[in-house]
């Protein structure tokens, strides 16, 4: 593959930004890239980024499919809180918090509720025809109340080793959460790219009217992706609450919907729907998580972190825009007019 | 022609390259004031690219453009418009949710005390339309107007920007005969005012009626510039496609066994099928292997008939039986399950998924029918797609190119291929040859004949009566959303008879 093809690849710019961010970290913290094995667990900043970024990646994967259909899901943050709250509530009521069976029931209940909430979103959007941003706004606002209701306005703390595994544990030297993300990503990639789900989703997002006339049953597809998105958020909610062994109805998953949407956009999926890229989304989520880490390591004053983050995000988005790059390049070297008409057509190098 | 007045616009040695494709090489083009100049060529010959280069949508890779003798280079359509070059595209690019007046004056609203002076907006819009002899309520939303009126509004807007050069890209493709005549009146008036008009159309008769001069392109190269009066139609077509057009003529004489089509089993029978506001109850039988043509003016209910038969709209009255069994088609999916396929006339809005590739667009309907859990194996995809790219001569023959980058005719073929691979029993074609070139048109017509010979039922909708007559076993005539006549296509049926039926509503 030649250099031009690499630069044209749609994942080039997000990847370049990620590398740049990592390089900045290495500059400020020389040992940043080192990963070491301690007590059978891998440790290091890179592992931390993956571990803390796991819930965001999960939510962003679900969000990618929703956005591909031309929709959006604002309620994922609330679903994160609800799922964690319900699981923790169930576990605090257990006689033995260490019982694996009890924890599994809690997980099942939490994910079941998340799935149900997602179905509600899907029905509001595809069945009733409410605009996605409004339909999911309902659950975004109401969901916080539901989470508070579950926790009775308190922060529920649990002390359960099996539950701690989900977000804070290790398996085969790796953080368990990272393994869950890998599994969800693999399943999603299989369903969308090996099966024909991806084509149908992109078609529905790309032109809903034409898709209907081509015989695609878009209603079922749309309900499915909202349910899937909520399920991903539910799993993320378990991770978040498991990592801190507590459920906070107010702050768990706060603003994660915005980070997830941002990750999808940085990954090159258009908010207008159509083409989507799971790999891009994962890269985008990693960029955001690395950025958060970077802000701490290079000692940006905490009160200005959000501003700094915003500036970097704007820069990333501009870099990704072909129109902007062209403008910026043209300003630097205004090409003289009238390229010779007889010039040979550009030789295409096979990739 | 050296005694001609100095050209208002002159393009010399224009070259344009897209990755992997040479769209234009060394093309010259000039436009004289007060002339209608037709730009001719097949789909993909470079007509649209030349227009886009001229209006600044694309930057030129080589050559120069002079306007009134001064070299120009536009950064975009807006800059071109400010210099006096306005364009009206094939597909109307206006805001349907705004009023007619707003559409005409958008971005240039007259103001008073810093606020938009609405009364003046309406007055000026009405004045512009008056000049073009279009009578329509300027405060009505554009979406409530017919496509033809929308087209006129687009032209009114272009003219009102005080254009000296007006580019009309396929303006007539969705107009009926009366509207075309109206458009031509407008064009002649603008011409008399000294405006130079660049006109693109696939209707040769229209070119000969309105154009003074024509420039022919083929494969991105200039074939030549001719006075319309000096080049016959047959020579023109020969120059456009680079060969003689015997195939089309042989097709014209193909004998049709009308009786045989009537004897074969009926595939779809509509009895008093109708939907208020769309089309009045109609009764129509389509036999296996039969081509049924639908003729009628634009908006006479042709498309509505097709949509009812395909389940795109619900029929509220009457019944439909397919293959002898009564069915209720609630969705297009139900229709595809019964072996019915529908190529919409509006391929951009209702046909293609622009961001997806040619391959993905072609396999879409088949994949939808199989469901997401049964993907078409990649090798089967490749075989099917290669077969239809080859059979329909889709160009460029690259299955992985986004379909939005193809020319109109090739997009139409992609849409056809999508439905042909599902092997339907009834194929509904709504204006399949609109806006595409002569060569592609002949290919599609030949295909229709072949398919019906193979036993497929075809419902063929077209505004071109000659085409309907050439292909159909019988012709249904629509007028004012009513099926007024069903005529067997025997020796007595001519375009004249069809036109009379349309005009008289079959009462004569």
Q: What is the pLDDT of residues B268-325, one digit of tens each?
A: 999 999 998 788 899 999 999 999 999 887 667 889 999 999 999 999 999 999 988 9
For residue A292, the Cα-to-chain-centroid distance in whole angstroms is 15
pLDDT of residue A331: 67
Confidence of residue A1 (pLDDT cuts 50, 70, 90): low
Q: Is residue B71 part of a domain?
A: yes
Helix axes B358-370, B378-391, angle to 10 degrees: 120
CB of B336 less than 8 A from some CB of A: yes
Quote the minimal CA–CA distance from B402 to chain A in Å: 11
Q: Are residues B360 and B323 located together in one domain of the fold?
A: no
Same domain membership, residue B333 and residue B275: yes
Reported confidence tier of residue A347, pLDDT bands at 50, 70, 90: very low
What would the mean pLDDT of A289-294 be, rounded to a whole number? Answer: 88
Looking at the fold, whether B405 and B438 belong to one and the same domain comes out as no
Q: Which residues of B touch A200 (CB under 8 A)?
A: 367-368, 372
B224-238: per-residue pLDDT in tens? 999 988 888 777 877
Banded pLDDT at B1 (limits 50, 70, 90): very low
Is 80 exceeded by the pLDDT of residue B254? Answer: no
Give tens-digit pLDDT for A226-263.
999 999 999 999 999 999 999 998 899 998 999 999 99
Model pLDDT, residue B238: 75
pLDDT tens by residue, A3-61? 777 777 878 888 988 998 899 888 888 888 888 888 888 888 899 999 999 999 999 99
d(CA B342, nearest CA chain A) in Å:
8
Name the percent of chain B lying above pLDDT 90.
33
Confidence band, pLDDT 50/70/90 cuts, at residue A199: very high
Chain B partners within 8 Å of A199 (Cβ): 356, 360, 363-364, 367, 372
Asked whether residue B350 carries a pLDDT value surpassing 60, the answer given is: yes
Q: What is the mean pLDDT of residues B432-445?
A: 81
CB A199 to CB B356 under 8 A? yes
Least confident segment among A72-76, A84-88, B166-170, B334-338: B166-170
With residues binned 3-state (H G I as helix, E B as strand, rest as coil), the percentages for chain A, rounded to 5, are 70, 5, 25
Query: Looking at residue B243, what is its pLDDT?
Result: 58
DSSP at A194: I
- Cβ of A196 and B331 within 8 Å? no
Q: What is the Cα Rg of chain A in Å?
A: 22
Pairwise CB contact (< 8 Å): A206 & B355 = yes
Q: Please enumerate residues of A whose Cβ is less than 8 A from a Cβ of B.
A: 191, 194-197, 199-200, 202-203, 206-207, 209-217, 221, 274-275, 337-341, 343, 345-346, 348
Best residue in B11, B73, B353, B402 to probe A by mutation, most A CBs within 10 Å?
B353
pLDDT of residue A229: 97
Q: Which of B215, B242, B269 is the last residue of a domain?
A: B242
pLDDT at B255 over 60: no
B317 shares a domain with B188? no
B414, B455, B403, B63: which is closest to B222 by C-alpha? B63
Reported as a single tens digit per residue, the pLDDT across B149-201 is 888 888 888 888 767 899 998 887 667 777 788 888 888 988 888 889 999 88
Q: A327: nearest CA in chain B?
A: B75
H/E stretch holding A311? helix A305-320
Residue B344 lies in a domain: no
Distance of CA B352 to the CA centre of its chain: 14
Q: Answer whether A196 sits within 8 Å of B367, measured CB to CB.
A: yes
The CATH number for B324's domain is 3.40.50.300
- Are B418 and A214 within 8 A, CB to CB? yes
B325 and B405 in a single domain? The answer is no
Mean pLDDT of B324-351: 91
Query: Of B242, B266, B282, at which residue does a domain stop?
Result: B242
Secondary structure letter of residue B357 according to DSSP: B
Q: Which residues in chain B are closer than 8 Å to A339, comparing Cβ atoms? A: 15, 61-62
Nearest to A242 by CA among A27, A9, A85: A85
Whether B371 contacts B365, CB under 8 Å? no
In angstroms, what separates the C-alpha of A3 from chain B's closest C-alpha? Answer: 16
CA distance B366 to B388: 14
**Are residues B465 and B317 part of one domain?**
yes
pLDDT in tens, B211-220: 999 999 988 8
B236 vs A166, residue with greater confidence: A166
Of B15, B365, B374, which has the smallest distance from its Cβ to A214's Cβ?
B365
- The reply to whether B26 touches chain A by the CB within 8 Å rule is yes
- CA nearest B361 in A: which residue? A203
- CB pair distance less than 8 Å for A194 and B375: yes
| Contact call for A194 and B62, based on CB within 8 A | no
Q: Is B25 on the interface with A (CB under 8 A)?
A: yes
CA dihedral B305, B310, B313, B314 (to 10 degrees): 100
Residues B53, B109: one domain?
yes
Residue of A nearest to B306 (CA): A213
What region, left, alpha or beta, does residue A30 occupy, with left being phi > 0 and alpha being psi -120 to 50 degrees? alpha
What are the pLDDT digits (tens) for B10-43? Answer: 999 999 888 767 789 899 999 999 999 999 887 6
Please indicate whether residue B245 or residue B42 has the higher confidence score (pLDDT). B42
Task: Tell me the chain A residues in contact with residue B335 when contact means C-beta distances shorter than 8 Å.
Answer: 215
pLDDT of the residue at A220: 92
Alpha helices, H only, B290-407 = 302-310, 332-337, 347-350, 358-370, 378-391
pLDDT, residue B389, reads 92
Domain contains B397? yes
* Contact call for B351 and A210, based on CB within 8 A: yes
CB-CB: which of B310, B351, B375 is closest to A196? B375
In residues, how long is chain B? Answer: 508
Which region among A120-134, A194-208, B47-61 has the lowest average model confidence (pLDDT)? B47-61
Confidence class for position A300, pLDDT limits 50, 70, 90? confident
Domain boundary pick from B227, B242, B257: B242
Per-residue model confidence (pLDDT) at position B19: 72
Smallest CA–CA separation between A85 and chain B, in Å? 35
| Count of structural domains, chain B | 3
B-chain residues near A202 (CB < 8 A): 353, 355-356, 360
Q: Above 80 in pLDDT, residue B63? A: yes
Helices and strands in chain B, H and E counts: 19, 22
Residues B98 and B208 in one domain: yes
Q: Are residues B207 and B326 in the same domain?
A: no
CB A120 within 8 A of CB A229: no
As a whole number, the mean pLDDT across chain B is 85
Measure CB to CB from residue B372 to each of A195, A212, A341 and give the nearest one.
A195
Q: Cβ atoms within 10 A of the Cβ of B493, count?
A: 16
Q: What is the DSSP letter of B377?
A: P
- In DSSP notation, B256-274 reads --HHHHHHSPEEEEEEEEE
pLDDT at A44: 87
Interchain CB contacts (distance < 8 Å): A and B: 106
> B195 in a domain, yes or no?
yes
Q: Is B238 exposed, middle or buried (0-12, 13-18, 19+ CB in 10 A)?
A: middle
Residues of chain A found within 8 Å of residue B312, distances taken between Cβ atoms? 212-213
Contact: B344, A213; criterion CB under 8 Å: yes
B353 touches chain A (CB under 8 A): yes
Looking at the structure, tell me whether residues B303 and B413 fall in a common domain: no
Residue B146 has pLDDT above 80, yes or no: no
Clarify whether residues B90 and B233 are in a common domain.
yes
- pLDDT recorded at residue B507: 58
For A214, list phi and psi in degrees, rounded to 5: -85, 0
Q: How far is B296 from chain A (nearest CA, A)?
A: 24
B42 in any annotated domain: yes
* Same domain assignment for residues B95 and B212: yes
Structure confidence at residue A309 (pLDDT): 80
Least CA distance to B341: which residue of chain A?
A214
pLDDT above 90 (res B338) = yes
Asked if B468 and B490 touch (Cβ cutoff 8 Å), the reply is: no
Q: What pLDDT does B276 receive?
A: 84
List chain B residues with CB under 8 Å of A209: 349-350
Domain of residue B461: give its range: 245-339+424-508
Q: The domain A42-321 is classified under which CATH number: 2.40.50, 1.10.3470, 1.20.1530, 2.70.50?
A: 1.10.3470
The residue behind tokens 């389509």 is: B286
Instruction: Report the alpha-carbon distance of residue B434 to residue B174 in Å, rounded.
Output: 8
Determine the Cα–Cα distance for residues B291 and A170; give it in Å rounded to an integer: 69
pLDDT of residue B259: 65
The pLDDT value recorded for residue B90 is 67
The reply to whether residue B332 touches residue A275, judged by beta carbons under 8 angstroms, is no
Q: Do A341 and B367 touch (CB under 8 A)?
A: no
**Cross-chain residue pair B26–A341, CB shorter than 8 Å:** yes
Between the alpha carbon of residue A214 and those of residues B327, B333, B448, the distances in Å are: 19, 7, 20
> Minimum mean pLDDT among A329-343, B119-133, B375-389: which range?
A329-343
């Amino acid at each position: 593959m030649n250099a031009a093809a690499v630069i044209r690849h749609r994942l080039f710019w997000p990847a370049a930004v990620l590398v740049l961010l990592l390089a900045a970290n290495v500059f400020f913290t020389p040992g940043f890239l080192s990963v070491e094995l301690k007590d059978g667990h891998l440790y290091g900043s890179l592992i931390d980024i993956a571990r803390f970024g796991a819930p965001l990646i999960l939510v962003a994967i679900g969000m990618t499919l929703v956005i591909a259909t031309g929709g959006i899901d604002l309620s994922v943050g609330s679903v994160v809180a609800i799922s964690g709250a319900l699981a923790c509530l169930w576990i605090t009521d257990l006689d033995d918090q260490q019982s694996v069976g009890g924890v599994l029931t809690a997980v099942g209940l939490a994910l079941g509720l998340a799935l149900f909430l997602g179905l509600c979103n899907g029905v509001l959007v595809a069945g009733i025809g409410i605009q996605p941003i409004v339909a999911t706004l309902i659950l975004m606002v109401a969901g916080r109340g539901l989470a508070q209701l579950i926790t009775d306005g308190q922060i529920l703390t649990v002390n359960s080793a099996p539950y701690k595994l989900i977000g804070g544990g290790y398996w085969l030297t790796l953080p368990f959460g990272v393994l869950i993300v890998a599994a969800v990503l693999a399943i999603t990639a299989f369903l969308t790219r090996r099966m024909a789900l991806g084509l149908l989703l992109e078609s529905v997002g790309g032109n809903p009217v034409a898709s209907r006339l081509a015989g695609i049953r878009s209603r079922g597809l749309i309900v499915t992706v909202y349910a899937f998105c909520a399920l991903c958020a539910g799993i993320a909610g378990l991770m978040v609450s498991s990592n801190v062994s507590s459920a906070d109805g107010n702050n768990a998953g706060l603003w994660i919907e915005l980070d997830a949407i941002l990750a999808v956009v940085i990954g090159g999926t258009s908010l207008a729907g159509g083409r989507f890229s799971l790999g891009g989304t994962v890269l985008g989520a990693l960029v955001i998580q690395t950025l958060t880490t970077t802000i701490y390591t290079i000692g940006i004053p905490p009160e200005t972190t959000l501003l700094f983050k915003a500036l970097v995000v704007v820069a990333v988005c501009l870099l990704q825009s072909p129109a902007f790059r062209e403008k910026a390049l043209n300003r630097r070297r205004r090409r003289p007019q009238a390229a010779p008409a007889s010039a040979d057509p550009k030789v295409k190098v096979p990739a | 022609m050296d005694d001609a007045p100095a050209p208002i616009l002159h393009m010399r040695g224009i070259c344009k390259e897209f990755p992997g494709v040479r769209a234009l090489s060394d093309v010259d083009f000039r436009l004289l004031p007060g002339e209608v100049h037709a730009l001719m060529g097949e789909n993909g010959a470079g007509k649209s690219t030349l227009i886009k280069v001229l209006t600044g949508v694309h930057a030129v890779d080589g050559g120069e453009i002079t306007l009134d003798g001064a070299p120009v280079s536009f950064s975009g359509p807006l800059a071109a418009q400010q210099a006096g070059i306005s364009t009206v595209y094939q597909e109307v690019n206006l805001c349907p949710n705004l009023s007619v007046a707003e559409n005409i004056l958008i971005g240039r609203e007259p103001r008073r005390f810093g606020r938009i002076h609405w009364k003046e907006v309406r007055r000026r819009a009405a004045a512009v339309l008056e000049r073009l002899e279009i009578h329509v309520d300027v405060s009505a939303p554009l979406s409530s107007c017919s496509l033809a009126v929308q087209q006129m509004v687009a032209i009114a807007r272009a003219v009102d920007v005080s254009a000296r050069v007006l580019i009309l890209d396929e303006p007539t493709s969705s107009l009926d005969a009366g509207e075309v005549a109206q458009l031509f009146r407008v064009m002649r008036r603008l011409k008399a005012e000294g405006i130079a008009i660049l006109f693109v159309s696939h209707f040769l008769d229209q070119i000969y009626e309105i154009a003074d001069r024509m420039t022919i392109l083929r494969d991105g190269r200039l074939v030549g510039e001719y006075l319309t009066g000096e080049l016959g139609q047959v020579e023109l077509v020969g120059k456009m496609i680079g060969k003689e057009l015997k195939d089309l003529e042989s097709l014209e004489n193909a004998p049709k066994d009308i009786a045989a089509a009537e004897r074969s089993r009926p595939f779809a029978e509509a009895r008093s099928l109708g939907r208020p506001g769309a089309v009045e109850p109609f009764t129509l039988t389509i036999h296996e292997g039969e081509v049924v043509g639908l003729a009628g003016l634009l908006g006479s209910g042709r498309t509505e008939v097709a949509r009812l038969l395909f389940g795109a709209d619900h029929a509220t009255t009457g019944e439909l039986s397919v293959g002898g069994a009564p069915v209720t088609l609630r969705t297009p999916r139900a229709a595809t399950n019964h072996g019915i396929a529908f190529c919409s006339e509006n391929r951009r809005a209702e046909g293609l998924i622009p961001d997806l590739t040619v391959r993905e667009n072609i396999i879409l309907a088949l994949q939808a029918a199989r469901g997401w859990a049964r993907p078409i194996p990649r090798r089967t995809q490749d075989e099917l797609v290669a077969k239809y790219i080859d059979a329909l001569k889709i160009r460029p023959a690259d299955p992985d190119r986004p379909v939005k980058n193809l020319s109109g005719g090739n997009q139409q073929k992609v849409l056809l291929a999508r439905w042909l691979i599902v092997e339907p029993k009834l194929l509904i074609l709504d204006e399949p040859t609109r806006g595409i070139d002569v060569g592609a048109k002949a290919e599609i017509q030949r295909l229709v004949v072949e398919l019906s010979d193979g036993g497929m039922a075809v419902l063929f909708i077209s505004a071109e009566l000659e085409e309907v007559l050439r292909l159909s076993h019988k012709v249904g005539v629509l007028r004012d959303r009513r099926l007024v006549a069903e005529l067997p296509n025997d020796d007595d049926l001519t375009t004249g008879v069809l036109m009379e039926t349309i005009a008289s509503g079959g009462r004569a």
